[in-house]
Structures are given as structure tokens and as C-alpha cells.
Amino acid sequence: MALSSSISSSLCKLSSQNALSPDSNSNKIFNSRCGPFSSLHQFPICKMGYVCQWGRRKSSYTPLISASVMDVSLDKSMEKVQLPKGDNWSVHKFGGTCVGTSERIKNVAEIIVKDDSERKLVVVSAMSKMTDMMYDLIYKAQSRDDSYISAVDAVLEKHRLTALDLLDGDDLASFLSRLHHDINEIKEMLRAIYIAGHASELFSDIIVGHGELWSAQMLSSVVRKKGIDCKWMDTRDVLIVNPTSANQVDPDFVESEMRLEKWFFQNPSKTIVATGFIASTPQNIPTTLKRDGSDFSAAIMGALFRARQVTIWTDVDGVYSADPRKVTEAVILNQLSYQEAWEMSYFGANVLHPRTIIPVMQYGIPIVIRNIFNLSAPGTMICRPSVDENEGNQRLESPVKGFATIDNVALINVEGTGMAGVPGTASAIFSAVKDVGANVIMISQASSEHSVCFAVPEKEVEAVAEALQSRFRQALDAGRLSQVAVVPNCSILATVGQRMASTPGVSASLFSALAKANINIRAIAQGCSEYNITVVVKREDCIRALKAVHSRFYLSRTTIAMGIIGPGLIGGTLLDQLRDQAAVLKEDFNIDLRVMGITGSRTMLLSDSGIDLSRWRELIKEKGEVGDMHKFVNHVHGNHFIPNTALVDCTADSNVASHYHEWLRKGIHVITPNKKANSGPLDQYLKLRALQRQSYTHYFYEATVGAGLPIISTLRGLLETGDKILRIEGIFSGTLSYIFNNFKGTRRFSEVVMEAKQAGYTEPDPRDDLSGTDVARKVIILARESGLKLELADTPVQSLVPEPLRATASADEFMQQLPQYDIDLAKQLQDAEDAGEVLRYVGVVDVVNKKGLVELRRYKNDHPFAQLSGSDNIIAFTTARYKNQPLIVRGPGAGAQVTAGGIFSDVLRLASYLGAPS
């Protein structure tokens, strides 16, 4: 009791000394001007719970009568003078970083002076980190930590030094006097908190509000020094709010408007600097506006003054389309509607709090967010959308404005057949959630009423699950509810845009983008207004999901992490082509191809941000490490900041091809000229194609047949449009095309083969070409694409390698002995020429008879196959539509440049499928 009596006595003494004496300094703690209370002369209760006997104090001062006389006097005078409202007022709000130092306060004053508005209201926060420092004082005091005294002195010194740098003369003396007085009173209050071991809400609000009082007084003095008539406003004299149970406050606009009129009559000025964050209750008790209070103050003031515009000055250029820390390509949005702004802010975007927008929305007052450190940036305007939805530029805009995420959430799923059609089930669920004080972020319910799914912060999920288990124990035991399941480690992704409601296909595009990035959606929620489509994904997928959808709606580049396997002749040429085209793809086509790894059979090169392709060969020598395919794939696919991964296999290795199924299952796209997978065992091929069709993972292999020629795509186009393939016949080998185009007259076969080898058309061992196996693989690929289930072993192949030379030890030995067997082919050539024909090595897919073959054939000199030159390939499609005259595709079918070009074309096709503009 002794301690309680001491606290009561000290608090009541403090209150009576500062509140009732008419001779007390105008900055006393409960005085009506500068102190935390506004017109609190009759305030009778100390927040520690004790009634002070104020009424017994002898004094000639009669506050109630005095206040009444002043009100009558003001009312009569204000009949003649009214506060001018409307577009002649502009409102500016400067946050703590804007007034963090004396130099920054000077910059703020300069902005105010340069604003050519007729009238200006400036709402100012406490200096940077000051509010946190004030709360820390309270925490230390109630923890009985004596260091609160030195911490108060640090607050004093920070403001004293700032004032010395900014002010002089009477302004400096007046401010320092008030500052020292305020600090002394803060120390008294902190001492009372120290004794009690508890901080009342009243004392906390009084203490933390001083930061705004001091910064507003200093800024107004600096503005006056520049020759501008300026008054400062303690907004507790004007803003009246009603506290709610949700740690928020509701503005009383009617009472606030009346008090503003009275304040302005006493302090007429065209420039006003007002405190942010602080206000009073209807009982004249000091309070704060809680979270984002200064922004809220500015919006309320903008509404009270019916201002032309409210400008929120901060340290960013505006509102981004996504968190720039997660999406480096995020862009500044020029404009947002009020609804879009509060949807994005709810999901954690760096936008105004929804309640900040409500006061100005009523009057259609725009809010502009600007960067005080980059005055050239126009910022983001939050306003009513244009009523003309048919403007050309608006129709071209993406219907999605931006994306926001919430991490560290968990899903709770309550399901059971007993829920269907039972009134009050949802009410009971969320009543239990409310009882534990948890915040429901998102709700999703199936139309069958079989389940209700909702998201809560992960730190609250255990308490919620226990409450639901307890609340529905009887239903769970009886089987009416099957489970209360928790899905941890989730993130929420919100897609926001007011025009989504009038644009068909937005949801389809969103879900398609996520599917193509191999991201599974756990839950979906969408309101009928369609301002917001919300999905829940795994936490580990959140950034990839954000990047994928951001790219899909053309707000950033389509970025693909690539791994190149086999940097030999074709792979190396591809890397050089990527190097030469990278800048054009970024700037003109919004495609960002990043090679994150290059691996050969022995050495690999890895990078976290993308290999410098201008010197990839040197980097492999300098920084290459021992090749490890498992590590290579995990590295390329493991970058969560890039939503799409593609592996490009430029080898002819069957072991590499055996990994395709595994990679596709992981969501890795595969692009290859390697024929081994599609011409290998039929069951493996069928599994690969089935997986491709079932998922959004892409497998492109145009270059497996015809190098850069559009053979596969042409065949697919015919089939997809309903045509029926009857026969495919062609010269599929550029090497053998060159050989037989030049094998004529008196030339010997071995001589032409040597020429082709020296020109680089053949493999190092020409038997790989002459055996016909490569052509047979292409025949199998086309046969399977046509629907035939053929194995490579089922295809007859006429080998051009003489039987005795097939087992020869080396390629050189083979070339030395080949001339001995020229006679047979010379005779075939002579017979053909005598008949007016040519020899051509062809592959045939006979779809009607369900077979394939590879052989040396004769064609008339006027046949298209006889018109080839060089290493050209030619393929003829005989179909139901092209029966009398086959559809022919002809062009270069060999060489590193055209093959790499075909692979590159598949890479760009993949980018198009993933959302790049076509």
C-alpha cells in the first residue's frame, strides 16, 4: 500500500501542478497549447486508477466558465471569418527519414517554400527513429532499468544539436526552453512509470507524441526564417478520434471540423506545419493514430481542408509493381486506384495503409507518393480511375497493376461430410479462431460446403488448431468432421488490378504462368469484384511464383536460367549466338536468358548470376571445376529468384538423354538436338511424351531432325489441323547429301568422302555417317511423331560401310582402305546416270504400311531430290491434303551454325510459351 500511495500522490501532484494553475508556463504538461493535453483543465482522473481531489484546490481560475466564454466569443467571431477550404490547399506529409537530420529539415523547408500552392498544410513525423527511442524509454522505465535517464538525455541532445544548427535568436531560445521543459516532464512521468513498474496507455501516448511536437516546431521556425508566414499546429487541438477494440482509432470528422475552424480563427495562416501521429479522444485525452499514424493524419487533414492533393514524401520513387528486393525488374507504377492501393497494402506492399486512403477517397482527393531524395521522379498517384475505359493507352495496359506477398503463413483445412448443409458451421469455426485472437488472412470454401480452408500467421496456427480440435471434438469423434489439418510453410501471393474485372482470361493467365513455372497452388480466393486474386503456394516457391506472374503480365522480362550441356562445336556455337543476341532480346523482346552453368564430360563452370558469355571459354579454363551432373542440375535449377529453368543438351550422349524424364518431373524444361531419347527404347519415349503432355514442362527437339529446318513443327502442324500423314520421304543427312550431290561423273566415292571429311561435314569417324544409323534415328523420330510405335531395331538400314571395314580399328585406317571398295558404288552410279537418274541416300516413313526404312535410291533428274546442292536436306510430306503433290521442306541440314540456330529457335519458343511477347 505504501508504494501505491506514493505513486498516487506523485501522479496527482504532477497533474494538479501542471493542469490547473493559470500562471503555469504555456508549455506545461496538461496545458492547452503546447503540452500533450488540449483544453484539459477539467480532466479529473489519473490513469493509475486514483481520483485526484482537483475540485478541492483553491484557485480563482474557473476553467469551465472560462471555456464557455471563449466558445461563445469564438462562435460570434467565426460568423464573419471562416476557414477557406478547397483546391487552394495542398497537403504534404514528411516521414521520419525526411526530417532525420538538420540538413534534411532544411530540404523539407525548401520544398514547402517552392510549392506554388496558395495555401499549404504540412504534416510532419518525429525525426528518424525517434518514436522507437521514445517507446524504448518507456520500456526501460517500466523494466526499472536506470539507463532510461541517460537515454532521455540522448533524446534531448539530439534535438538540441539539431535546433542549434537550424535556429537562432528568439526562435532558438523559445524552442530550447520548451524542449528542456518537456524533457523534465517526461523524466517525471518516466519516474512514475519506474516506480509503478507499469506504463499506462495515457502516459505512453503523451511521451511518444513529443517527437512530432519538436519536429513540427523546428520545421515551422525554419520556414519562417525563409520569409514565409507559418504557424505550427498541435493536432491534438484539432483531431478527435474514437479508440476501437482493434488497436485502431476512428476519426470524428464532425467534431474535428468544428475544432479546426476554431483553431484556424485563432491562428490564420497560409502555411501550417502540423504534427502527425497524435490526436485526442472526445474526452480530450491524448492518444495516437497507431500504425502509419502520420500518413493517416495527412489524409484526415486533406479531407478536412478538402485539399487539391495530398503528397506523401518518403525515400522511394513510388509504389512498385512488386517487392523490388524479390523482383529486380519491378517497375514504378504511375497510377493506382484507391481500391488497388489498399488491396496491395493489405498484402504487405510498400503502399499506404488502407485506412489512410479512406478519408481522401470520399472527396476524390488524390494521394501522390514521392521520393524526397529524387525530386525528378514523378512518383505514384493514388486516385479515382479514369471513367473513360476506351482510351487507347488504357486498353493496352496490363489489367494487373501489381503483386504482393505475405510469408510465414499456414493453412488450416476443416473438412467433413457433416459440414454440408449445416447452418452455423463456418460461424463456429471462425468464432473459435476469434477466441484465440488469431488473424484470418484469407478464406476459401468449396461450393459443396465439404471443407473450409483459411490462412493464418504461422505463429498463431498451433493455438488455432488446438481451439478447433477442442471446439469440434464431438463432431470429430462422431465422424461428422474428418479432420482439422494444418499445412505449414506457406506464402500468399496476391494479384491486384481494378481492370481485371472487365478483362476475360486474367485468372487463366495467372494460373498458367504458375503452372509453367511448375508451382503448385494450395488454395485460391477471389472476390466478385475481382480486384484481387489470391493464391497460396509453398514458401520455398514464393519468389519463383512472384517472378513468374510478374513476367507473364509484361511487367518485367521473361527470365530463364539455362544450363548448357556439351560446349563442343554445336554447344559452343550456341553460346556465341546467345552472347551476340542477348542485348537485343532484353531490350526489344523482354527476354532475359541467363546461362547459369556450362558443363562438359570432365569440366563445368557455374555462376550464381549468369556467366559472362563474352569470355566463357577463358572462364572455363580459369574457374572450371570437376564435372558433376547432379551438382550442375541442382545449381541451375536452385535459383529461386528465376522462375524458369531450361537445360540444353548439345551432346549425342545416351546417358545424358536418360535424365530427361527426371528433369521434366522436376519442372525443368529440356531443349536438345540429341536424337538418343526420341529414337531410343519405345517405352522410355512414350513415358517421356506422356509426362510432357501431363505437365506444363516443355520438351523441344526441333533440331533432332533437319538441324535448323522446321521439320518437327511442320509435321505437328499437319497433324494438329486434322491432316493424315501417308508417307514421309527425305534426305535427312547433310553429310550424305553433300557426298551424293558431289558423287557423279568420273569421281570416286572414297575421294568424295575424304573431301567431305576434310571440309568438316562428317563425324571424326565417317563410318558414323555412312552406317545410316543417324538417318535411321531421324526416321524413327518422325515415325513416332506420326503415331507409329516403331523401334530402331525394326527399321532396315542399308549401310554404306563395306562389311570388311566395319570392324577396322581406326578412322584413318578405314579411310586408307575405303578406295578398295569404290567399284561397287561406281557401277551403281553408272547405271543410274545411263538411265537419266541420280543416287540419293534416303529415309522413308511409310505410315500406311506402318514401317520405316533407310536405303540408297535412284531418282529421275527432274525429281526434287535430284535438284539438291551442297549439304541441303529435303523432306517430302505426302498427306491426305498433299497427296498429288507432296509438301516439301528444303534447306541447309548440317553445320554448327544452322543446328545451333535451330536450338536457339526452340529456346525462344520456350520463352514465348512462358509469357514473353510474341
Which residues are marked as active site? 778
Report residue 130 as a C-alpha cell. Answer: 525517434
Cα 298 to Cα 287: distance, rounded to the nearest angstrom = 16
Nearest to 251 by CA among 220, 219, 198, 289: 289
Burial of 812 (0-12, 13-18, 19+ CB in 10 A): exposed
CA dihedral of 339, 343, 345, 347, whole degrees rounded to 10: 180
Cα 637 to Cα 335: distance, rounded to the nearest angstrom = 36
- Asked whether the beta carbons of 377 and 318 are under 8 A apart, the reply is yes
Cβ count near 693 (within 10 Å): 8
- Residue pointed to by grid coordinates 506457406: 490
Query: Where is 872: in which H helix or E strand?
Result: strand 872-879
- Residue pointed to by grid coordinates 508451382: 519
CA distances for 621 relative to 129, 571, 572, 796, angstroms: 51, 16, 14, 45
Amino acid at 899: T
Cα 775 to Cα 735: distance, rounded to the nearest angstrom = 10
Side-chain half-sphere exposure of 325, counting CA atoms within 13 A: 5
Distance of CA 268 to the CA centre of its chain: 47
Cβ density class 615-637: b for 16+ within 10 Å, e for less: ebeebbeeebeeeeeebbbebbb
Cα 636 to Cα 895: distance, rounded to the nearest angstrom = 28
The sheet with strand 558-565 has its strands ordered as 625-626, 603-606, 591-599, 558-565, 644-649, 669-671, 699-700
Q: DSSP 3-state assignment of 404?
A: strand
**Nearest 5 degrees, angle CA 634-CA 638-CA 642?**
140
CA distances for 862 relative to 660, 841, 854, 866, 868, angstroms: 43, 17, 22, 7, 11
- Residue pointed to by grid coordinates 489498399: 342
Cα 430 to Cα 432: distance, rounded to the nearest angstrom = 5
523-526 vs 532-538, strand pairing mode: antiparallel
- Asked whether the beta carbons of 502 and 455 are under 8 A apart, the reply is no
- Asked whether the beta carbons of 836 and 861 are under 8 A apart, the reply is yes
- Backbone phi, then psi, for 70, in 5-degree steps? -60, -40
- Asked whether the beta carbons of 55 and 15 are under 8 A apart, the reply is no
Query: Where is 308: in which H helix or E strand?
Result: none
Cβ count near 46 (within 10 Å): 22
CA distances for 758 relative to 132, 746, 753, angstroms: 78, 20, 9
Report residue 659 as a C-alpha cell. Answer: 535424365
- Asked whether the beta carbons of 567 and 650 are under 8 A apart, the reply is yes
Cβ count near 271 (within 10 Å): 20
* 280, β-bridge pairs: 240, 286
Report residue 625 as a C-alpha cell. Answer: 571445376
Nearest to 182 by CA among 216, 202, 144, 211: 211
Query: Where is 561: in which H helix or E strand?
Result: strand 558-565
